[in-house]
């Protein structure tokens, strides 16, 4: 980064500090991951200079020959990876993908029904502070109080009463596998479209270890940077007819010029995701989440729904007489980055919460396995037991630093 260093030492310094932080901390935010250097090179390329409104072969600007080439590669690879008829690779983010999909599948004012944010859903699934809750009449389903899992019979019953014009599936803090066949059946019975936002578990779907929403949903949205391990961005998959509406609502409907540099990086990600090493990593991500969860349960912590089928666990910290906010801060002080998260039927506010969400994608990418997850569970358990001013914390910080040092991040950049 010699050019950046010379031109802007302040930004260069921040980049170096962030690299140091990512190397030194145990990154366990469930929605984060580490892209390959090839993905980053594509993202940092001259395509950032190019305007390319429109789609390959139909642009509103000249000079799009190579932009067409990378966008076509990204589209074709996404279609192969997920077995979809159409792929729109232009959404700047998961939220942008969702705005586009909503407008393609229903009209402002229509009733939509998705999983409540406080039960593991997402802001864009109809929360009142989000566009989705103000443009549409949003209704929410919740998890079952006993099992803390979605009860698809209850969901069907509620959907028959609410009669939404769009059913939304997908989650950001639900540790269990979704039953998209059941959701597809409900949507068909109501003769409405089904939108699935698979942002969190898209990498698991790509590797064939999470139920695949594509055969059951009218459209599937995702981010490309979570388990999928690509650049920050969005993607929409659909059939051919819906694809026409999606394209129209993406551009000119909700976006202007696409980020061609990010699309180039998405193409690289979709190629990487077709390889055996990638599939092995996705399997290991789930195995690591299960191992971490089991080790925490052995140490007396409670997991929402009793476990996980995915890349994340949701830990109820109330048995430790603390809030999610306090737990997040204590873990940060020993070098483990997680986020506070509401748990179903939480008595605390979303800023305080009773839980923490812990994910394994990033550390799995660094090469960690079950053995390291047990070590991390032990550090977490002891740190929470020690509390904010515990004298054990510096020693625990050393243990997490030792783990990070044994699994170097981007050694090529050292």
- Residues contacting ligand DSN: total by CB under 6 A: 4
Encoded tokens for 306: 């009793």
91 near 236, Cβ under 8 Å? Answer: yes
Q: Which residues contact 100 (CB under 8 A, 6 or more apart)?
A: 88, 91, 221, 236, 246, 249, 250, 253, 254, 255
Name which of 47 and 178 has its Cβ closer to ligand DSN.
178
* Minimum CB distance to ligand DSN, residue 95 (Å): 7
* Minimum CB distance to ligand DSN, residue 25 (Å): 16
Strands 111-115 and 194-197: unpaired
Name which of 94 and 175 has its Cβ closer to ligand DSN.
94
Distance (Å, whole) CA 268 – CA 402: 32
- Assess 31 for contact with ligand DSN (CB under 6 A): yes
- Assess 227 for contact with ligand DSN (CB under 6 A): no
Distance (Å, whole) CA 273 – CA 327: 34
> DSSP 3-state assignment of 199?
coil
* Length of the chain counted residue by residue: 414
List the x/- string, 149-188, binding to ligand DSN by CB under 6 A: -----------------------x----------------
- Assess 341 for contact with ligand DSN (CB under 6 A): no
Name which of 172 and 288 has its Cβ closer to ligand DSN.
172
Name which of 172 and 255 has its Cβ closer to ligand DSN.
172
| 174 catalytically annotated | no
* Minimum CB distance to ligand DSN, residue 27 (Å): 12
- Assess 96 for contact with ligand DSN (CB under 6 A): no
Encoded tokens for 90: 């232009």
| 321 catalytically annotated | no
* Minimum CB distance to ligand DSN, residue 98 (Å): 10
- Assess 94 for contact with ligand DSN (CB under 6 A): yes
> DSSP 3-state assignment of 191?
coil
Catalytic residue among 12, 51, 152, 410: 51
| 53 catalytically annotated | yes
- The conformation of residue 89, written as its DSSP 8-state character, comes to -
| 107 catalytically annotated | no
Strands in 56-182 per DSSP E: 58-59, 86-88, 111-115, 137-141, 166-170
| 41 catalytically annotated | no
Catalytic residue among 232, 279, 369, 397: 232
| 226 catalytically annotated | yes
Name which of 64 and 205 has its Cβ closer to ligand DSN.
205
131 near 99, Cβ under 8 Å? Answer: yes
What burial class does residue 354 get, using C-beta atoms within 10 Å of its C-beta: 0-12 exposed, 13-18 middle, 19+ buried? Answer: buried
Binding site for ligand DSN (CB under 6 A): 31, 94, 122, 172
Which residues are annotated as catalytic?
51, 53, 197, 223, 226, 232
């Amino acid at each position: 980064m010699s050019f950046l260093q010379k031109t802007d030492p302040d930004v260069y310094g921040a980049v170096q500090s962030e690299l140091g932080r990512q190397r030194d901390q145990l990154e366990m935010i469930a929605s984060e991951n580490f892209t390959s250097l090839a993905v980053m090179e594509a993202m940092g390329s001259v395509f950032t200079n190019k305007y390319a409104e429109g789609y390959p072969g139909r642009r509103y600007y000249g000079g799009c020959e190579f932009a067409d080439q990378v966008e076509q590669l990204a589209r074709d690879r996404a279609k192969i990876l997920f077995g979809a008829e159409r792929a729109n690779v232009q959404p700047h983010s998961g939220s942008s993908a969702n705005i586009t999909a909503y407008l393609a599948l229903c009209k402002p004012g229509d009733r939509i029904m998705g999983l409540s944010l406080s039960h593991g859903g997402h802001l864009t699934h109809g929360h009142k502070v989000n566009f989705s809750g103000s443009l549409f009449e949003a209704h929410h389903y919740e998890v079952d109080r006993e099992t803390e899992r979605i009860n698809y019979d209850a969901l069907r019953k509620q959907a028959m009463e609410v009669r939404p014009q769009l059913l939304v599936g997908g989650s950001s803090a639900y540790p269990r596998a979704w039953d998209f066949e059941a959701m597809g059946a409900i949507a068909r019975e109501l003769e409405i479209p089904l939108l699935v936002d698979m942002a969190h578990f898209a990498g698991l779907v790509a590797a064939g270890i999470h139920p695949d929403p594509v055969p059951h949903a009218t459209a599937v949205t995702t981010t490309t940077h979570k388990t999928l391990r690509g650049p920050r961005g969005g993607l929409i998959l659909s059939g051919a007819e819906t694809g026409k509406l999606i394209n129209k609502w993406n551009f000119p409907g909700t976006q202007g010029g696409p980020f061609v540099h990010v699309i180039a990086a998405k193409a690289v990600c979709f190629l990487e995701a077709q390889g055996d090493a990638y599939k092995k990593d996705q399997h290991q991500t789930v195995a690591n989440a299960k191992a971490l969860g089991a080790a925490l349960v052995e140490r007396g912590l409670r997991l929402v729904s009793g476990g996980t089928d995915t890349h994340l666990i949701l830990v109820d910290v109330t048995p430790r007489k603390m809030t999610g906010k306090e737990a997040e801060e204590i873990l940060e002080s020993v070098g483990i980055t997680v986020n506070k998260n509401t748990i179903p039927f939480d008595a605390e506010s979303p800023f305080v919460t009773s839980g923490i969400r812990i994910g394994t994608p990033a550390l799995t990418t660094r090469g960690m396995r079950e053995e390291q997850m047990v070590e991390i569970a032990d550090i977490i358990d002891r740190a929470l037991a020690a509390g904010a001013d515990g004298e054990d914390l510096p020693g625990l910080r050393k243990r997490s630093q030792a783990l990070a040092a044994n699994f170097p991040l981007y050694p090529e950049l050292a």
